[in-house]
């Protein structure tokens, strides 16, 4: 296997996702990773201060997969909700894989895309890969008001491209893949959703080209648990500016 990448850590930050956590972990466990089928799979779940039944769901998952050969499970928990960035930092401190995949705990993103996302790194073409939702225009489900998320995503991406001389189509995508040494070299400061922008800025400032791979995407509504809000878009833009002038 090219690059010596024999293991992958899938980082799953979780906040009040008891309804979907079992299903997404089952998909993560079953998803193909590489053509040879030899990559070791580690799943790192960080419960970011959930107030629903997420802790019980995590306990069930640990018990279910504890002795399974196809993966290992590691977990951590925050005493209070601190944000996606904070959960990712906790997960990175635990992860041992040579590659890192960021996986949301809902069902918007499909782990069956892993093999395609990993291929540019395994083939030596890139060390950072994003899954882009724009080929399907975020519209695998027609949700009222979803145009706001499309507009916010476009704006954040456009600003990131200008500030960091990138050619990306989807900076806020939930699917980001890194060679572990690349992401570990970053000193991450973001605790919230703006970590997506910080990762992009730091990768570009370190000289990495970011490859993009088309992915499937099934957005959910705010009523179904979507947590991104307009204020997160403002914080994302502010993060890009701070990273540019740092």
Average pLDDT of the chain is 90
Average pLDDT (209-226) is 78
Closest residue by Cα to residue 130 from 62, 193, 200: 200
Give the model confidence (pLDDT) of 40-95 as tens digits: 999 999 999 999 999 999 999 999 998 888 899 999 999 999 999 999 999 999 99
- The predicted pLDDT at position 1 comes to 47
For the cut 90, the answer to whether the pLDDT of residue 240 exceeds it is yes
Does 143 score more than 70 pLDDT? no
| Distance of alpha carbon 226 from the chain centroid | 15
**Domains contained in the chain, CATH given:** 2-245 (3.90.550.10)
For residue 23, give the 3-state DSSP assignment: helix
223 or 6, which is more confident: 6
Higher pLDDT, 241 or 66: 241
Q: Which of 53-67, 121-135, 212-226 has the lowest mean pLDDT?
A: 212-226
Picking from 125, 100, 144, 99, the residue whose alpha carbon sits closest to that of residue 213 is 125
The distance between the two most distant Cα atoms of the chain, rounded to a whole number of Å, is 48
pLDDT band at 144 (very low <50, low <70, confident <90, very high): low
Highest mean pLDDT pick, 2-11, 29-38, 111-120, 223-232: 111-120
Question: Is 177 in contact with 183 (CB distance < 8 Å)?
Answer: no
In 10 A of CB 4, how many CB atoms? Answer: 7
pLDDT at residue number 220:
59
On the question of pLDDT at 102 being above 80, the answer is yes
- Is the pTM higher than 0.75? The answer reads yes
Provide the pLDDT confidence category of residue 19 given band limits of 50, 70 and 90: very high
Tell me the three state secondary structure of residue 91.
helix
Reported as type and span, the H/E element at residue 177 is strand 176-179
């Amino acid at each position: 296997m090219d690059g010596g990448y024999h293991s992958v850590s899938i980082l799953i930050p979780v906040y009040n996702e008891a309804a979907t956590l079992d299903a997404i972990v089952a998909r993560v466990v079953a998803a193909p990773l590489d053509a040879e089928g030899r990559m070791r799979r580690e799943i790192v779940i960080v419960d970011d201060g959930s107030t629903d039944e997420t802790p019980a769901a995590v306990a069930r998952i640990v018990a279910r997969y504890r002795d399974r050969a196809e993966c290992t499970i590691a977990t951590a928990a925050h005493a209070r909700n601190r944000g996606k960035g904070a959960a990712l930092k906790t997960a990175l401190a635990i992860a041992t894989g040579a590659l890192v995949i960021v996986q949301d705990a809902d069902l918007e993103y499909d782990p069956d895309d892993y093999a395609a996302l990993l291929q540019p790194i395994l083939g030596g073409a890139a060390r950072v890969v994003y899954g882009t939702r724009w080929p399907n225009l975020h519209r695998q489900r027609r949700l009222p008001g979803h145009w706001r998320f499309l507009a916010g995503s476009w704006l954040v991406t456009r600003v990131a491209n200008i500030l960091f001389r990138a050619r990306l189509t989807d900076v806020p995508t939930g699917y980001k893949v890194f060679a572990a040494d690349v992401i570990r070299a970053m000193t991450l400061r973001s605790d919230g959703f703006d970590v997506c922008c910080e990762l992009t800025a730091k990768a570009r400032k370190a000289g990495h080209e970011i490859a993009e791979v088309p992915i499937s995407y099934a957005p959910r509504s705010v009523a179904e648990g979507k947590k991104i809000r307009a204020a997160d878009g403002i914080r994302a833009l502010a993060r890009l500016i701070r990273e540019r002038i740092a």
